[in-house]
Structure 1
Amino acid sequence: MTRITDLRVFDLRFPTSQSLDGSDAMNPDPDYSAAYVILDTDAPDLAGHGLTFTIGRGNDICCMAIEAMRHLVVGADLAEVLAHPGKFWRHLTSDSQLRWIGPEKGAIHLATGAVVNAVWDLLAKQAGKPVWRLVAEMSPEEIADIVDYRYLTDVLTRDEAIEILKRAEAGKTERIATLEKEGYACYTTSAGWLGYGDEKLRRLCQEAIDAGFDHIKMKVGRDLEDDIRRLRIAREVIGPDRYLMIDANQVWDVGQAIDWVKALSFAKPFFIEEPTSPDDVAGHRKIRQAIAPVKVATGEMCQNRIMFKQFIAEGAIDIVQIDSCRMGGLNEVLAVLLIAAKFGRPVWPHAGGVGLCEYVQHLSMIDYIAVSGTKDGRVIEYVDHLHEHFLDPCRIENAAYMPPSLPGFSIEMKPASISNYTFRG
C-alpha cells in the first residue's frame, strides 16, 4: 500500500516577456510561469509531479490554491485512487468550503488540474508506463470510470461512454504500432507571435516549412492593417496549399469578429481561434454561422467539462481545443474527449506554455488509441521553447510528436530548473 505523504509547491517563472515569446493581442508581454507541485509518497524514489500554467502575475495565487488542497490529497492510497479515479476526482472538487471559490473554475480549478495530473504522474510511474499507455491499455469500463459524470448525463452517460470506448477497442494494437512509427502530427505557433517583426516572421515561417510543418498558426487582432500585412507575408512564404490558422485570443466582440475574419479571408485561414469571450457559447455559434467555411476553434480558456458540453452540443465550435491543466486534469479532459467523439468534433489540444506540449501529447494519444480511434483531421499544437527544463521533453520528428516511453506524464522538471526559476519576489 503506497500513500501520498506530502505536497510541495513551487512558484516558477520564466522571463519570456524579454523576447516577446508568447505575445498576442490580449497578452502582449507574458512571463510564462508554472504553479508546480510535487506529491511525495512513502515509497522510495516515487514522487508525482504536476503543474498548471500561468503567464506571470497571479501564479502565486495558484500556488496558494494548490496548498489549500493539501488535506484532500495527503494520505491518499494510490491503489484506491486507481481503483476509483472518478470518485477521487469528485473528492478533490467537492470540498464544501473550497468549492465556494469555484466551483470547478478559476484558480482553485487550475490548482485541481496540477494536483490531478501529479497523481496520474504517480500512478504511471508506479505502473512503469507513460500516462498515454497506462490509460489507453485499460478496458472500456476502467477508462469510463475515470470520468465524473455529474452535470453531463443529459449529453453523456457512463453507458454511452463505454459504448464509444468499446467501438475503439478494435484496432488498438495496430494504432499503438502506427503511433510508435509515425507519431502524432503537430502544428507550430512559434512563427506567429504578435510581437515579432516581419523579417523574423518570414524567417520562422520558412524554418517551419523546412522542418516539415504543414500547419502554421498566426496571432491576430491588434490592428487590422497589420494583420493583413502579416498574413500576406505568411501565405506568400508557406504557399497556397498549407494550412494557415489565426488566433485572436478573445479580443473581439461578436460583430467585430465576424467583420475582421471576413477581412482576413483572402489568406484562406482554416480556422479562427478564440474569436470572442471564452464563455460566450451563443456568440461563438453566431460567428461560426457567419464566417463559414472558416472554422471556429476554442477551448484553451474553457474552464470545465460543462462549458465544453455546451460549446459542442450547441454547435458553437468546429474544433475542440482542450487544455491539459485549465480543466481539472486528465479526468476532466477525458470527459471532453468522449463528448467530442460522440458529436464527431476533432480535438486539437492547446499547447505551448510551460509543459503543455509535454502534457497534451499523452492526451491526444489516448484519444487516438482508445476514444476516437483516428488521427484524421487532428493536429496537436507545438511551440518550441522551454522544453529544455524537463527530464523527459517532448520529441518532435517530421513535424510529429513521438510517443513518450518513460514512465509518468513527461512533466517532471530538472531540479536545477526548479531552483533557478523559483520566484523570489
Structure 2
Amino acid sequence: MSTVENLKIISLDVKDLRFPTSLQSDGSDAMHTDPDYSCAYVTIKIATGLEGYGLTFTLGRGTDIVVQAINSLKPLVVGQVVSDIYKDFASFWRSITSESQLRWIGPEKGVTHLATAAIINALWDLWAKLLKKPVWQLLADLEPEQIVSCIDFRYLSNVITKDEALHLLTQGKFGKEQRMNILLEKGYPCYTTQAGWLGYSDEKIKMLAQKYLDLGFNAFKLKVGRNLKEDIKRLQLVRNIIGWDKTLMVDANQVWEVQEAIDWMKFLAPFKPLWIEEPTSPDDVLGHAQIAKALNPLGIGVATGEMCCNRVLFKQFLQADALQYCQIDSARIGGINEILAVYLMAKKLGVKVCPHAGGVGLCEMVQHLQMWDYVALSGTSEGKWVEFVDQQHEHFLHPAIVENAHYRAPRVPGYSTEIKPEAVKAYEYPNGSEWEDMFSKGIFHDPRKDK
C-alpha cells in the first residue's frame, strides 16, 4: 500500500470549531476575561484514505482568520508525498514557514505560525498512524539522526548545533527502555489549573480545589493579577484546603509592568508559590530576567512560553536566564518540529520544561511531547509537570486520561487529535447545531446577520 501515489496528500480541510466556555467563565484570567475555547481543526487525507488531524488553539474571535491562513498554505501541502516530507521534515517545515511572500506577514509568528502548527500537527498524527504508534512512541523510537532531520536549526547555532543535539539525543538512549516501562506503568505527573480561573466564585474555587485534592493532585495553579487583595484572599483560601505540603503556582497572564510584577509577588510570597507565570509581556526577555533575578531570593521562579512566538524567542529567554520553567505550547509555535528544538536547548542549558495545556486539544498533544522528553531526552520527571485542565476532552475520540494526577501514556496510534464527528457538526462556527440553538435563544449574537 505504501506506494508514492498512495502516500500523496489529496486534500486538506480546515474547520472553525468554538465552544462557549465564556458562559461559565471557564478559562478566564486577568487578561482574557471571556474566552470561548476554540480551534482551527485541520484534516489531511492521503490517497489511501488515511487521515491525519491537527489543530491550533484559539479563544473564539479570530479563529476564522487562522482558518484563512491555513487555506493560504494549502497549495504548499496538497500534492506532496508524505514519505518525502518525513525523510527531510526540516526542509518541508522551512518551505511552509519561509514561503517568500507569506513569510512577510510573520515571519514565524502570529497567525501564519498558528496555521503552520495546525498543519504540522496533522502531519505528525498521520505519520504516527502510518507507523501504528502513538506520537510519543514514534518520537522515542526515532534515531537521533532522524530527530535532528526534523528540526530547522537556522538561527540557533550560537546556542545549540546539530552535533550537540545528536550528542544529547544519543545520551538519552541510555536507560530508555526502563523509563518507557515506568511511563507505561505510572504515567506522567501533572498539575491542575481547574480550580484557579479568575472568574470563579470563592465557593466554586473551594469546591474544585477539594475535588482535585481528593483525586490525588499535589500541585495547583491559580490565576492572579486583577486585584491584589482578592489574590491574597484566594491564595489563602486554597492553601487552607490543600495545605502547605502541596505545590502552588500562580499565573498573571501578562498583565503587569516589570516592577509591578516584582512588587505584587512580594505580597504573594508568603503563600510559597513555586513560580509566577507570564508576569509581563511575553516578548520582554530582559523584563522577565529582571523579575527572575528579583524573585530568586524569595524562592519564586519565573515560568513562561505559552505565548512565545518561535524558537528564537525561546532561545533568548533561555540564554538570559529569564525563565526557570520553560512552557512549550503544542499549537503556538510551529508544531512538533520547532518544539523539539526548544526541548533540546532547555536540556543543554539545564532548564525544566513544564508544558502549557488546557485549551482545546492541548492536553491531548503535550502529553506526547513531555513523555518523549522523559523517555528519550531529559530522562527525568522530577520537579516537572504537564498542566491539566478538565475541559472539552469529551469531544475527542481518544481523550487524555488522567488518573491519580498522572497522564496515562496514550496507546492508540496518532497524536490524540481526532475530534468526534458529532462534536464537529455541533460546534462548527457559525453553522453548527449548538451555535444555531444559542443564536436563536439570544445567548450569542449571530454574526451572519452583520453581512
Please state which band the TM-score falls in when normalised by the shorter chain.
over 0.9
- TM-score normalised according to structure 2 size: 0.93
Q: Which runs of 5+ in 1 are unaligned?
A: none
Secondary structure of the equivalent of 2:352? coil
- TM-score normalised according to structure 1 size: 0.99
**AA at the equivalent of 1:381:** E
Deviation at 1:14, TM superposition (A): 0.3
Deviation at 1:78, TM superposition (A): 1.2
Query: Which residue in 2 is equivalent to 1:400?
Result: 406
Separation (CA, whole Å) in 2 of partners of 1:82 and 1:96: 22
Query: Which residue in 2 is equivalent to 1:372?
Result: 378
Deviation at 1:238, TM superposition (A): 0.6
**AA at the equivalent of 2:286:** A
Separation (CA, whole Å) in 1 of partners of 2:378 and 2:111: 31
Query: Which residue in 2 is equivalent to 1:251?
Result: 255
Query: Which residue in 2 is equivalent to 1:330?
Result: 336
Query: Which residue in 1 is equivalent to 2:237?
Result: 233
Deviation at 1:94, TM superposition (A): 1.2
**AA at the equivalent of 2:322:** A
**Structure 1 moving runs of 4+ over 2 Å:** none
**AA at the equivalent of 2:405:** A
Which of 420, 423, 426 aligns to 1:417? It is 423
Deviation at 1:366, TM superposition (A): 1.0
Query: Which residue in 1 is equivalent to 2:130?
Result: 126
Deviation at 1:92, TM superposition (A): 1.2
Query: Which residue in 2 is equivalent to 1:11?
Result: 16
Deviation at 1:371, TM superposition (A): 1.4
Residue correspondence of structure 1 range 3-402 to structure 2 within 5 A: 3-44=8-49, 46-292=50-296, 293-402=299-408
Q: Percent identity?
A: 55
Query: Which residue in 1 is equivalent to 2:442?
Result: none
Separation (CA, whole Å) in 2 of partners of 1:79 and 1:40: 14
Deviation at 1:376, TM superposition (A): 1.2
Secondary structure of the equivalent of 1:208? helix
Deviation at 1:199, TM superposition (A): 1.0
**AA at the equivalent of 2:227:** D
Deviation at 1:309, TM superposition (A): 0.3
Separation (CA, whole Å) in 2 of partners of 1:4 and 1:38: 11
Secondary structure of the equivalent of 1:37? strand
Deviation at 1:149, TM superposition (A): 0.2
Deviation at 1:289, TM superposition (A): 0.5
Separation (CA, whole Å) in 1 of partners of 2:164 and 2:268: 40
Deviation at 1:374, TM superposition (A): 1.2
Deviation at 1:210, TM superposition (A): 0.4
Secondary structure of the equivalent of 2:208? helix
**AA at the equivalent of 2:86:** L
Deviation at 1:230, TM superposition (A): 0.3
The Cα offsets for residues 334-392 of structure 1, whole Å up to 9 and x where unpaired, read as 00000000011110000001000001000001111111111111100000010000000
Separation (CA, whole Å) in 1 of partners of 2:313 and 2:80: 29
Separation (CA, whole Å) in 1 of partners of 2:240 and 2:220: 13
Deviation at 1:278, TM superposition (A): 0.2
Secondary structure of the equivalent of 1:361? helix
Aligned residues: 424
Separation (CA, whole Å) in 1 of partners of 2:419 and 2:317: 34
Deviation at 1:86, TM superposition (A): 1.1
Separation (CA, whole Å) in 2 of partners of 1:244 and 1:375: 18
Calculate the aligned-residue CA RMSD, in Å. Answer: 0.7
